A and B are shown apart, each in its own frame.
Chain A
Amino acid sequence: MQTTAVAAASKRGKASPLTDEQKILLFRNLMLAMALDRMMMRVIRAGRMVGFYHEGGIALAPGVAAGTFLRKEDILWPHYRAHGLAHMLAKGIDVKLYVAEHMGREAGCCKGRSSFHFSFPQDHVFGLSGNIGANFPMVVGYGFAAKYKKTDQVVMNCSGDGSYGEGRAHEALLISALWKLPVVFWLENNGMAQHSGEQDLFPGKEISVLAAGYGIPAMKVDGQDLFACAETALAAIAHTRSGKGPIFIECRTLRAQEHSVGNLNNEGPVKRDQKLMDEWKATRDPLKIAAARLIEEGLLTETVFTEWQAEADKQADAMDEFSEASPKAMPSVEELYTQVYAGKGN
């Protein structure tokens, strides 16, 4: 059993399983994800968003990697950083409908009534929960259903380190291992849960060691290295799709800002070190790291970078405009009463 290993396999000198096309796709997905994240920050700061927003910042490479190689029928439960926009756009979902949802619009993917929840059932993305860790029981169900229906669907179960405090996480590890369910436990560990640091929440340094107790193979990867994350995602998806049961991936990433917009930025009683966070933004930005690599490999130039960046920003702005153009969702109370239960059964 492989308990730890792999890592930045994409370091120069090692052969990468990624094609040039895949690298460019990943890079542009990350670029768009970060552009969307900036746009969402502008929207919430302008007071045009309903509900919360949890900035993704420089923590979006794992999400892009987790989503990019999934098939339409694979189940994705995104992590809530940047509200799963990175994961979902990478899976090919029309996320402008989710942007509109954040603004409470009729065009929203849940008719403007869910705040920051989402649902794209046709794309096998079923929702976000404000109750952290709610994903774990559901992914048992997705995995069970895949086996029951004898499909080769993969369940990409993304979550943060905080969610592993929930008993549900341990129940899901247990049952997934017991029933050999096709679940990727994709941990995006930024070392912070709300305003508490990992040293106050976990007895060890790595959460992936939990997997060993359940006989689940685990891998760790640098979450700031987009291509390393992507290689690991490919390996994890292949492992799971081939019927070998669950796998645990720990992406080590960074939270260079407060938990949610307008909130505290403490670690316990102490304010977090702004200088350190600024340094991370300068040196550990996954887009800059990936761009340097692509330039080195001759797949990107500064000029093309600027062009693509402008395109991504334009796409993000278009989603904002699309949402603004849609009327605020205000159905009548009578209509809402008709929406509580689904119609006739089987």
Chain B
Amino acid sequence: MTDTRELTLCEAIREAYIDEMRRDERVFMMGVSIQAGSFPHTKDLTPEFGTHRVVDTPLAEPAIAGAAIGAAQEGLRPIVDFMYAGFSYYAGSEVFMQASQYYFLHGSQLPLPLVFVGTCGVGRRVANEHSTLPYGALIHHPGIKVCMPSTPYDAKGLMKAAIRENNPVFFLWHTSMMSFKGHVPTDDYVVPLGKADVKREGTDVTVLTAGMQVHTALKTAEKLKDEISIEVIDARSFEPFDRDALFKSLEKTTRLVIVDEDFERAGFSAEISAQVMEHGYDLLDAPVKRVCHPNFPIPGGYMDVYTMPTVEKVESAIRDVCR
């Protein structure tokens, strides 16, 4: 047994940065006000690593994202913190077109090891730019890997895997989980990209989700435990997606609810529904049900009750597939 301590999600990410920057001199970080630490995961890194490895930049997302690509082409392993993932949309060409597709388009010769980091999530009443979850848009573009942790353990392990990965990775974390605590080992470990995790075992219904919504699903499962046995699968990676883990679960439960905080239309949940339809139709005893953000922009103010997946909404979807 290795030693563990309780860390917050942000502290766990920060430990991954520290471990990997100690391990590999080519790893450095760039972003707006990361030295001060707009969020705690980049706080107080300069005393050990200096301002040349933890680099504050002007507010110029395209330049920062493109600089990561250029630096990776010249042999470094950059981490770019966009602060809010919504800010990465400024760098659409760099993220969707250049970083994601460079390797394939240029003859699969030169790997592009780089990590984009952004926080996201609905429910803080701060409207679209500070909330939007870009994983649906990201996985639409082949060539970039995308992950989001639901626990500090996964956060550290996924971040370490992302930094060691030889491809662009967009690492998302949920703003509401900043101070969420959990046990994290002191020893070196990674959580491989493309490996889902069964966060609760069950036999009647599979709930596939990720990030913050893993906890909504777990709360729902606990609430219904005497009635319906619910298996909660944390995707952890949206690309590559662990379809085997999902299908293994569906063989048992034959019923699927997808809880996705991103927009319903053409997103992760739509993609997985289609994959299940095409490749796992025979596994199902009921149509797939989704709980997603409605197809209108993420509003600010008090309207998050309409937009957040809640235990009630997830429960209702679970009851639907059990009918």
Contact = CB atoms under 8 A, between A and B. Distances in A.
A102 to B, nearest CB: 14
A137 B65 contact: yes
Contacts of A146: 74
Given A75-B74, A140-B66, A175-B60, A340 B107 contact: no
B93 A131 contact: yes
Interface in A289-346: 336, 339-346
25 contacts: A110-B105, A113-B107, A114-B105, A119-B107, A124-B74, A126-B106, A134-B66, A134-B98, A138-B66, A140-B67, A140-B70, A141-B66, A141-B73, A148-B71, A168-B63, A168-B66, A171-B58, A171-B62, A171-B63, A174-B58, A175-B57, A336-B104, A342-B108, A345-B166, A346-B163
A342 B166 contact: yes
Interface residues of A, number: 46
A117 B66 contact: no
Contacts of B72: 141
7 A-B pairs with least C-beta separation:
A137-B66, A141-B70, A342-B111, A110-B107, A145-B74, A119-B106, A171-B63
B73 A126 contact: yes
Contacts of B166: 341-346
A137 B105 contact: no
Given A114-B105, A145-B71, A341-B166, 4 more contacts: A126-B110, A136-B66, A137-B65, A145-B70
A345 B164 contact: yes
Interface of A: 75, 108-111, 113-114, 117-119, 121, 124, 126-127, 129, 131, 134, 136-146, 148-149, 167-168, 171-172, 174-175, 178, 336, 339-346
A119 B98 CA distance: 13
A167 B60 CA distance: 9
Given A144-B70, A146-B74, A342-B167, A137 B62 contact: yes
A137 B71 contact: no
Interface residues on B, range: 35 or more
Contacts of B65: 137
Nearest to A339: B108
A341 B103 contact: yes
B295 interface: no
B94 interface: yes
B103 A342 contact: yes
Contacts of A113: 104-105, 107
Contacts of B323: none
Contacts of B28: 148
Contacts of B104: 113, 336, 339-340
B76 interface: yes
